[in-house]
Amino acid sequence: MARWTEPYPPSHNFAEEWVLSGKSLEDEEDLAGAKDAYDRALAADPNYVSAWEGIGRNRLKERDLQGAEQALRKALQIDPQAQRAHYYLAIVLRQTLRADDAERELRTSLSLVPDDIPTLSTLGEMLLSRGDVAQAEPLYRRLIAENPNDATAHLALARIAGAQNRPQEGIPEARRATELEPDNPEAWLTLARLALGAQDAATAEQALQRTESLAGTANPQVVLTRALLYRLQGKKEEAGALLRRLGMQ
């Protein structure tokens, strides 16, 4: 009689098994349980990089930024090519106001995995927030190539087009953002502003009305946009009244 054997023998990589358990517990927001699992993984293999990454990520969620940095640097000491460790270290560095170091880690992360969505998104956001639209634009285009339904990326491209005085190119991106997130007042306001730049009063009116319904008519940015639209429509007195409300006349 042929001897029966298990087709899938159990894994004896206990560190890996504990890391998988830790990640599952972490996803369930059981941070204490996850920490215990990662500690057990390190007890099985003190140099298991994924366990150090898990501890770093876990500490980051617990707002222990110093502890997170120590764990992630330990992971990178073991394996300088550990892409997720570079990414999460960048998050720690950004939260501790070390923007240049954070950007360096993000670029390293991207060099290791060029299409990593969290890295593309975080680096794009950093560049856009400091006004570096030329470097941010290709990152957001890569994000959309990976996920065409990324509303944040479409909105970012719309804002970039506006900053570069290309309102006509930004309008389709802003429209797509409003389609994906119809209750996002920022998307509608961006569409209204781009339409103003393109001298398209009808589109601006429609987008601004939607913005007003979501953000209210007293919001200063909404009031300013309404004043600019009045000017485009030739309603100088109405525009002046709104600008005076904002202390701009």
Predicted pLDDT at 246 = 85
Residue 158 domain-assigned?
no
Residue 21 domain-assigned?
yes
Q: Cα–Cα distance between 217 and 219 in angstroms, integer?
A: 6
Closest CA to 156 of 130, 183, 185, 187: 187
Residue 195, amino acid: A
Q: Cα–Cα distance between 85 and 48 in angstroms, integer?
A: 12
Q: Which band of pLDDT confidence, cut at 50, 70 and 90, is reported for residue 4?
A: very low
The CATH number that applies at residue 61 is 1.25.40.10
CB under 8 Å to 96, separation ≥6 — which residues? 65, 69
Predicted pLDDT at 211 = 98
Residue 35 domain-assigned?
yes
- The two counts, helices (H) then strands (E), for the chain are 14, 0
Which domain covers residue 19, as residue numbers? Answer: 15-113
Provide, rounded to the nearest whole percent, the portion of the chain with pLDDT above 70.
94
Average pLDDT for 77-97: 98
Residue 106 domain-assigned?
yes
C-beta of residue 168 within 8 angstroms of C-beta of residue 185: no
Residue 54 domain-assigned?
yes
Average pLDDT for 63-81: 98
Residue 217 domain-assigned?
no
Residue 150 domain-assigned?
no
Q: For residue range 101-156, list pLDDT tens digits in order.
A: 999 999 999 999 999 999 999 999 999 999 999 999 999 999 999 999 999 999 99
Residue 39 domain-assigned?
yes
What average pLDDT does the structure give for the chain? 93
How many domains, in total, are found in the chain?
A: 1
